[in-house]
């Protein structure tokens, strides 16, 4: 059995933690990618940032309850916790995603590329 990473329960998802997770443009770009394209392997985001930074950003998003990270053998699969987030903070994710789409793509992802 693969080792499971810790995730907050839906009712423990905290607004401060979610806003803190989403305030970073790299993390918003990751969230936008899984929001629009469905679940992705971590390696899909390696064009965005270095491996170390990516691990850090994915941990921030996972610990805040924004994404779920599933371990499958050597791969980590990232998906959005949309249903739980929408139930807990209705409209928040969509409002942030709309804002994230306004950002020019190169500016969104170039910072630590």
Q: Which is nearer to its own copies, 62 or 76 (CB)?
A: 62
Within a 13 Å sphere around the CA of 103, how many CA atoms are in the beta-carbon half? 19
Give the helix/strand (H/E) hosting 36.
Answer: helix 25-37
Q: Smallest distance from the beta carbon of 76 to its own copies, in angstroms?
A: 25
Angle at Cα 103 formed by Cα 102 and Cα 106, nearest 5°?
140
**Residue among 74 and 90 whose Cβ is closer to its own copies:** 90
CA pair distance 11, 1, nearest whole angstrom: 27
Q: How far is the CB of 78 from its own copies (least distance, A)?
A: 20
Binding site for its own copies (CB under 8 A): 15-16, 19-20, 22-25, 28, 88-92, 94-96, 98-100, 102-103
Q: In angstroms, give the least distance from the CB of 79 to its own copies.
A: 21
């Amino acid at each position: 059995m693969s080792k499971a990473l810790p995730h907050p329960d839906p009712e423990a998802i905290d607004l401060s933690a979610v806003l803190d997770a989403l305030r970073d443009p790299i993390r918003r770009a990751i969230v936008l990618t899984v929001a629009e394209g469905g679940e992705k392997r971590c390696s899909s985001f390696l064009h965005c940032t270095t491996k170390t930074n990516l691990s850090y950003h994915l941990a921030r998003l996972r610990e805040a309850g924004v994404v779920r990270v599933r371990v499958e053998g050597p791969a980590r699969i990232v998906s959005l916790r949309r249903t739980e987030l929408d139930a807990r903070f209705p409209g928040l994710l969509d409002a942030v995603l709309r804002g994230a789409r306004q950002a020019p793509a190169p500016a969104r992802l170039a910072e630590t590329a």
